[in-house]
Every structure is written in C-alpha cells, then in structure tokens.
Chains A and B, each alone.
Chain A
Amino acid sequence: MIEKTPILDTLTYIFLIIGILIVGFPIIYALIAATLPIHEVSRVPMPLIPGREFLVNIKAAWINGNLGTNLLNSFIMASGITIGKITVSLLGAFSIVYFDYRFRTVAFVSVFCTLMLPVEVRILPTYQMAANIMGPFQGLWDLLHLNGIVGWIVGHDIDLRLDWSLLDSYTGLIMPLVASATCTFLFRQFFLTVPEELCEAAKMDGASAMTFFRKILLPLSKTNIAALVVIEFVYGWNQYLWPLLITTNPKMMTAVIGLQNLIPAADDLPYWNVALAGALIVMLPPVLVVLFMQRWFVKGLVEPEK
C-alpha cells in the first residue's frame, strides 16, 4: 500500500491471529480433550496440557461409534453424489448448449426450476417416493382399476402391488441428492464461454458430437470438474437430514449421523473425550479434501457468483 502505517500493520496481524484462534478454538480444544482420560475431561475447567490417551479414545470412538462401517457408507454416499451429479450434469449441459431440438427450452426450464430447492423442503414426499419408487405407477394402477381387470381376466381376485423401496440402500441415499441443477447450471455457464471456433473446427475435421465432447470439452472442463468434486464431496459427506430419515439399519448409517450415539446423554458418564475423538475422525476426510484442493475449491465456490 501507499502509506506507512506500522501501528495499523501490527494491529492487523494481531487481529488476524486472534481471528485464527477464534476460528480454530473449537478444534484445538477438541484435540486436547480427545487426548485426556475421562476424569480429566470432566473436570471444569479442563486441563489444557494434552494427555496420553489419544489412541485409547480414538479406538473407543471407532468401536462404539461403529466408525469402520459408517465411514465406508459416508465415503460411498459422498462419492456417489459427486460422480452422479457431475456426470449427469455434464451430459445435460452439453445437450442444452450444443444441440438445437424441439424440447430444449422445456428441458432447460424444468431442470433449472430445481436450482435452489434443497431436499430439506420436500423431505416428506421425497421420503414417500423413496419408500416406494413405483408409487406413481401404483397410483396409475389403482386409478385404472387394473387389479379388477386383471382379476377378471385371470378369473379370481388378486391384489397386485408395485413395490420397490429405496430405504436403507445406497441408491436411496444418493439419488435424491443428485436431483439438483447447481452443477448443470455451472457447466452450462462454462460451456457458453468456450469459443465457437473450437466446435466449428472440430466439425470441419469431421468429429462427431461425442468425439468433440470427449476430446475437447472434457479436457477444457478439468478445473471446473475439480472444483465441483471438492464442493460436492463435502456436501455429500456432510448430509444430515436425508440419511437420518432414509436409514434405519445400523449397517447403512453414515458417519456424521452415527456420532449422535457418542454424545453423552444427561445420565451417562460424560465420555466427551470419546465423542470428540469420533468427531475429529469423521470431519477429517472433507477437511483434508478442502485443504489439499484449496485452489480449485476457492475457484469453484466463488466463480458461480459471477
């Protein structure tokens, strides 16, 4: 900057350090708590010197919180959402931007209506849908009194039910969260900035639509894809309400939901050290993804605003 302001500069760094400490405080404190035995963690105020029980607490959290299974489930769910969303929206955006067909506008509008509506506002009907994905067909079946007709043809009363539940399945965990247009919108925005000449040149060289997509558009979208991988992975890993509803089987529980079982209830012994050790394990994967892919993540987060 143009003037010299030594006092203000010092203050800047002091405030920055305070800010970083405030932001980091819950984690630092949780890290210390996770190293202490129970009688020290329940002392108020808790000692601030790390203890030696870190591995013991981690192990206890791993076993009590069933973290092995849960982390795997979370990983499958987060990766499924990431891959599903990016694949679906890359293809969709390609179709909308690079083709001219009759229902293009209809497709465009109907997809983009979903842009801002999160799954949280339509949980109950989405749950019913997931409980029986054949629901709409069942409705049609009932409406047309097909049971009666089939019964009349076969000669005796039958009750045919169309039933296919997605509850307690990876499909059920993943698919409803793939139904969002955010990524499609971003890819559309990006494709529109790709120079026309590239497509014209490719066509002149006799490339088909899919060749152009694979050989030119995909390599160009690499940074955008990387950014969305970070954002969607974090989004998928941190999902709460939907997995809470759709999984009842402990084998299908995700890691973030499973942590609830580790929080000491009012009458329990206050095993906060174990609960916090568990919380630290579960938050590690998305935090690492964000830290290691920081550059793309910041780009992906800030870009759509423009």
Chain B
Amino acid sequence: MIKRSVFSSRTLPYLLILPQILVTLTFFYWPALQGLMQSVMRSNPFGGRNTFIWFDNFIILFTDPLYLKSIMTTFFFSACVAAVSICLGLFIATMANRALKAKAVIRTMLIWPYAVAPAISGILWLFLLHPSYGVVSYAIKHWLGMDWNPLLRGSDALFMVVIASAWKEISYNFVFFVAGMQAIPKSLIEAAAIDGASPFRRFWTITLPLLSPTLFFVTVMNIIYSFFDTFGVIHTMTQGGPGGATNILVYKVYQDGFIGLNLGASSSQSVVLMTLIIVITVLQFKYVEKKVQYTG
C-alpha cells in the first residue's frame, strides 16, 4: 500500500492531494449527499421548505408501472448488448489470433469504432435502419419479408438501439480478448494439438476456460457501458420511445428530472442507480481479489 522508503514533509503531501480531494468533495460527495437528501424529501414547487417524507419517493417509484417497465427494459437491453458484443468480439478475436499475417492491419481495422461516440454510432445506425431511407431496413423488408418500423414499433426500436450500442463495444471486447488470448501459454495449446485435439476442441477446453477472468471483466464493463454510456444512443435514435420501449433507467432519470422537473423522483432514481453500480463494483472487486489469491 505504501513504499518502504518515504519522504517526510509536514505540508507537502496535503498540498499534493488537495486538488483531488477538492474536486471529489465538490463534484462527488456533496452532490451525492444532496441526492440522498432529496430522495427522502418532497420538494415544494413554489419554493420554501421541503418536507421530509421518509421513503415515500421510493415507494412511489417501485409501484410505478412505468419505472418497473424501465427496469425490465434496461436489464433486457444490457443483456442483449453484452451478449451480442461479447459473442462477436470473441469470434473476431479468435480469428485474429489464428491469423499469422497482417496482424497489425487487422487490429487497426477493428479497433477504431472504440473512438466513435455512442451518439454518433446512433446516427450512423439510425440511417442504416431508418424505415424509409435505411438500406438495412430495406434488406429486412424485401429479403426477409418482415415488417420493420423502429419509429413506431417498440420491439423494433429496442432491436435498433441494441445494434447501435453493441457495434461500438465489439472493438473494446476485441482488444481485451486478443490480449487475454496472447497471455495463454503457447505450450499448453501445442501439447493439446499433439494429443490430437482439434482446433475447436482446443478452443472450448483450453482457450475459453483460461479466458474466463477476461470474460467476466468484459461482461461487467459491458453492463456498466450499456447502463450508463448508451444515453447518447437513446437520445439520438429514439428519445426513449416509441411508447417508452427504449426508456432505459439513465434516460428516465434525465426525463423525469430535467424535462418533468420532478426532483424527488429523479433523485430517488439516482440513488437506485448508485446502489446498483456499487453492488456491481463490490461484486467485481470480490471476484478480482479471488483471482489474485488463485494466481499468487
């Protein structure tokens, strides 16, 4: 945790940490405290005193069918995003790991979507999946013969935001999977090959199990991404519509707080989100600790 040999100074360490503490207090702890307080208060729309109402905001929240629907949408949405981007990322990484030539070019060609903003990914895919101008929607309608209108039908809209969000995340997963695969000892795979295990068998029995820590980490990161960073995708593509079909939790906080101006509801939603992410983080750290014990 600390070096054996340290510098001694009375004021310097405090001065060095001061900016970090100041920024954290002002923009993290104070707002978080405010949020907690507002979540147990009813704000007076005409100014004046707020009333303390215990957990009424939370009770209202969890009995609100719209909020429950938003929870379900969020979980479904992030499961789909994680599944699609992990499967494709893993598949492409496996292929790239097998390739012997042009490795650098391949990596370059696959890495750049990481830098594309979620909102821009939304614009690109909105054009491709637009019911009247999109080429992919044309293919869906004419080749698959399916009706397609993400601007009117909820399930289509959800599918659309999943695609736009997962596309960007493929390259993130790709980078981690390639790094994870390179860390697997070559001798292990060669030994299995000598024993006559086919490439597919080697993938399922060696690569995948040894990749499981990376897989776990990537899953957590994808879930966090799809919970919070996909705001831009939703905002450019559907604005939570049609009929709330793509209204994920983080978008609902924004809508209730900044468009509906319902401070209590928005704050209690923020508290729910904070709790959720703290749970995810604790789980992840627990797992990482275990991994450290296992290897070291």
Contacts and interface: CB of A to CB of B under 8 A. Distances in A.
6 contacts: A16-B92, A29-B127, A95-B16, A181-B24, A208-B7, A301-B172
A91 interface: yes
Most chain B CB atoms below 10 A, which of A41, A103, A118, A136: A118
A199 B115 contact: no
Contacts of B23: 88, 175, 178-179
A275 B267 contact: no
A126 to B, nearest CB: 4
Chain A facing B: main interface SS? helix
Interface stretch (A18-26, A51-59, A145-153, A218-226): A18-26
B95 A283 contact: no
B235 A209 contact: no
A30 B164 CA distance: 14
Contacts of A259: 119-120, 123, 236
B128 interface: yes
Contacts of A26: 121, 124-125, 128, 167
Interface string A54-81: 0000000000000000000000000000
B167 A99 contact: no
A49 interface: no
Task: Report the contact-size class of chain A (Cβ under 8 Å from the partner).
Answer: 35 or more
A237 B33 CA distance: 28
B30 A2 contact: no
A272 B127 contact: yes
Main secondary structure of the interface of B (DSSP, over half): helix
B253 interface: yes
Interface in A272-306: 272, 275-276, 279, 282-283, 286-287, 289-291, 294, 297-298, 301-302, 305
Interface residues of B, number: 101
Contacts, number: 308
A291 to B, nearest CB: 6
Interface of B: 2-9, 12-14, 16-17, 19-21, 23-24, 26-35, 38, 88, 91-92, 95-96, 98-99, 106-121, 123-128, 130, 132-135, 138, 151, 167, 170-172, 175-176, 179, 189-190, 193-194, 199, 214, 217, 224, 228-229, 231-232, 235-236, 250, 253-254, 257-258, 263, 266-267, 270, 273-274, 277-278, 280-281
A13 B92 CA distance: 10
B118 A241 contact: no
Contacts of B20: 88-89, 91-92, 107, 111, 181, 184
B193 A98 contact: no
A160 interface: no
